[in-house]
Every structure is written in C-alpha cells, then in structure tokens.
C-alpha cells in the first residue's frame, strides 16, 4: 500500500484537492477519513467536495450536530464530525453505522474518536499545517480507494507529489 504526499501551498489548493476528489468519487460508494488538527483544512476540503457535487446552499459544520446529510443528484452524502464524541456508546445511540450504510459518500472528520465503532475507510487523508503551507498524506485502504487515488495522482495539478512506500 502506498501513501502519497501532496504539498498544498494555499487554501485554494486544499479546495482544489476536495473538488478533484469529488469529481472522481461522484458515482462511487466510499468512506473517507479526514484527520488533522483544528485549522488543518479538513472542513475547507469537505466544503469544496460538496460544492463540486452541485450543492449550492450553505454547508454547515457538523461539529455540534455530528451528522449533516446532503441529498445531491440522487446521492446521499454524509459529513460527520466526531470531534465532540467521548465514547463509542454515543455512536451506538446515534446509529451511526446505519447512517453510513445507507449513504453513498461518507466524509468523516476526527475518525479516531470513533475508530472502534465506525466502518473502515476506503481512503484516509491526514492534513497538517507546516510553516506556511499544508500537507496532505493520502493513503488508500481498499480497492475502490486505490482506483480513486490513482486517478487523482495521475491527473493532478499539485505541487510536489511524492509516493512513499
């Protein structure tokens, strides 16, 4: 399995990554984990992803609601934020895995707070802020994830993409 590093020199490139992922993921059933500290760009990437799918309304952060559901062109997209989750029991009460099972695309921020309960990802993205740029480390975790990441990497306009084994 490979990990790809993408240098994102500004917020626009973080949004571009979200848009490009959206274009590739559009017709697939997929779970994407987004990891990173506050301010790393998770929400920026997700908002661009959702807008690229054609959603034109305000995109709310699910920090307090935990789940925001979007119906876009017959696709159910979930934006989940587990930042405020303290234990797995909360996720069981919410029936989170049932929501995920019924969705087409699921984008999960702070997955480590529910890692023992939620379904495994197809793609894992770690965002970090280094000096005056962001870095995205992208790893596929399934066959569909591999296909999506290969399309992303082979058709990129990003600065310094690096393959790590």
Which tens digits make up the pLDDT trace of 30-50?
999 999 998 899 999 999 999
Q: What is the DSSP string of the chain?
A: --EEEEEE-SHHHHHHHHHHHHHHHTTS-EEEEEE--TTSSHHHHHHHHHHHTT--S----TTTTSEEEEEETTEEEEEEE-TT--SHHHHHHHTHHHHHHH-SEEEEESGGGGTTTSPPPSEEEEEEEETTEEEEEEEE-SHHHHHHHHHHHHT---EEEEEE-
Domain count of the fold of the chain: 1
CATH number at residue 43: 3.40.50.300
Task: Tell me the residue range of the domain where 70 lies.
Answer: 3-164
What pLDDT, on a 0 to 100 scale, did the predictor assign at position 160?
42
Q: pTM of the predicted model, to two decimals?
A: 0.91
């Amino acid at each position: 399995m490979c990990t790809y590093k993408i240098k994102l020199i500004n917020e626009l490139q973080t949004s571009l990554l979200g848009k490009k992922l959206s274009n590739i993921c559009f017709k697939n059933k997929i779970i994407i984990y987004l990891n990173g500290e506050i301010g790393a760009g998770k929400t920026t990437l997700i908002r661009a992803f959702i807008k690229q799918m054609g959603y034109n309304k305000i995109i709310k952060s699910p920090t307090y609601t935990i789940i925001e559901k979007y119906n876009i062109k017959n696709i159910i997209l979930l934006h989940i934020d587990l930042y405020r989750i303290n234990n797995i029991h909360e996720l069981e009460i919410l029936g989170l895995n049932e929501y995920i099972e019924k969705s087409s695309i699921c984008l999960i921020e702070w997955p480590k707070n529910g890692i023992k309960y939620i379904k495994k990802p197809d793609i894992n993205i770690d965002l970090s802020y280094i000096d005056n740029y962001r870095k995205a480390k992208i790893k596929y975790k399934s066959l569909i994830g591999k296909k999506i990441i290969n399309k992303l990497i082979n058709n990129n306009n990003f600065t310094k993409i690096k393959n790590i084994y």
